[in-house]
Amino acid sequence: MGYKLLFITHSLNNTGAPLVLLDAMRACRKEGHSVDVVAMEDGPLREVMENEGVFVTVADNFLDELSMWQGIFGKFDAVVANTLVCIEAVYALNTTKVPTMWWIHEHEYWFEYYQQILPKPADLHSNIKVYGVSPLTNEFIKKYCGYETKLLSFGIKDVKEKMPASGDEDTGKVRFICPATYSHVKGQDLLCEAVRRLPSDVREKCEFIMCGATMESEDDYYSTLLNAEREVKELKVLGTLPHDEALLMISKCDYVVVPSRLEPFSATAVEAMMLGRIPVVSSVCGVTEWIKHGENGFVFETENVDSLADALRHCVSLRLTNGENPESRANCAAQDLNYQEIADKARETYEEFFSMDAFSRHFMDELMEII
């Protein structure tokens, strides 16, 4: 007999944490459990969930209507509160005995932002269990909250077989893509500057694509990226893409770049590995716990444009020579693996740690432990 589960999320946008929640929800339903969703903000994922038969409510009045929510929560066998932003829901759940997984994904900025209102460790009742999405996130939880935590990384649906087998053969270029919301935190400006610093004979062999949502608060930042696009012909700044189109775009590229200044995990890097593409990630990313430089991806120093440029230059050489005597190994580990071998190891990393089967087993084990 399946359990009745409630998932609470801050948003239903096509962004990292809500997409991860969607995959978790699907894993639970596949195991025979029923799932309802409460979101604090509406978005395109609502239609996706409702089309799959999930009941979705949009609400954020957990404390204003506490008694009502206590009654609602009591109808479920367990609740999954997704992200730090769901803190009001956690406060409400803390007044009940409903087993709750508080699954935290955020980077350090949000811990600093919420620091004054985070529950003290002694205030969290035994029904609230805290999980971090990466070792880095767990470090933040320990630093700012003092909670005992467990590691619960997420799973990504495998769609590799649905994608066309294509890469640099389509354009004759080495293709890099950076899919992320346009914001200072995501570091697209660092990528633009690194591209500028590439020798012209290297840059002209490449195509650098950025795509993502824009935010009003980041209009000035976005303008700098558009200026860079006008100045550097190898740069393309695209708008937001539906998730399936973004995955298709990744599958047509050779490398996925994550230049973030803050990044507790990076679902994008995992999607790259799922698609058999090589992630090139900032050292601040939590996913670097699973990436060994030069073996299943590349890691460059956070906010160090020269380090990123060196990594890009090496990636170009590796792709064009298939690993035979690359022109430059600056800042890169000495290794004999060629492009395809590194891409294959990236895919193996996905299968071992981030496939839906691996995630489902881990998630369901943790869920059954608290029910």
pLDDT means per 10 residues, the chain with 371 residues, are 93 85 89 96 95 96 97 98 95 98 91 92 95 93 93 90 66 93 97 98 97 94 98 96 93 98 92 97 96 97 98 96 53 69 98 92 92 90
Domain identity same for 14 and 142: yes
Instruction: Please check whether residues 60 and 115 belong to one and the same domain.
Output: yes
Convert 278-316 to b/e letters by CB count within 10 Å (16 or more is b).
bbbbbebbbbbebbebbebbbbbebebbebbbbbbbbbb
Give the separation between CA 352 and CA 359, rounded to whole angstroms: 9
Same domain? For 226 and 365 the reply is no
pLDDT of residue 186: 97
Same domain for 166 and 250: yes
The whole-angstrom separation of Cα 112 and Cα 73 is 29
pLDDT at 360: 87
Domain co-membership, 181 together with 226? yes
Provide the domain count of the chain.
Answer: 2
pLDDT score, position 330? 46
Output the pLDDT for position 323: 53
188 in the same domain as 222: yes
Q: In this structure, are 127 and 197 located in the same domain? A: no
Indicate if 8 and 104 belong to the same structural domain.
yes
- 108 and 172 both lie in a single domain: no
> pLDDT value at position 198?
98
Q: Within this chain, do residues 179 and 142 fall inside the same structural domain, yes or no?
A: no
Taking each helix axis from N to C terminus, what angle separates 305-321 and 339-349, rounded to the nearest 10 degrees? 110
- Structural domain boundaries, residue 200: 160-353
Longest CA span, the chain: 68
Note the pLDDT of residue 365: 92
Task: Return the pLDDT at 327.
Answer: 47
Residue 100 sits in the same domain as residue 171: no
Query: Can you give the CATH number for the domain in which 57 is found?
Result: 3.40.50.2000
Whether 211 and 145 map to the same domain: the answer is no
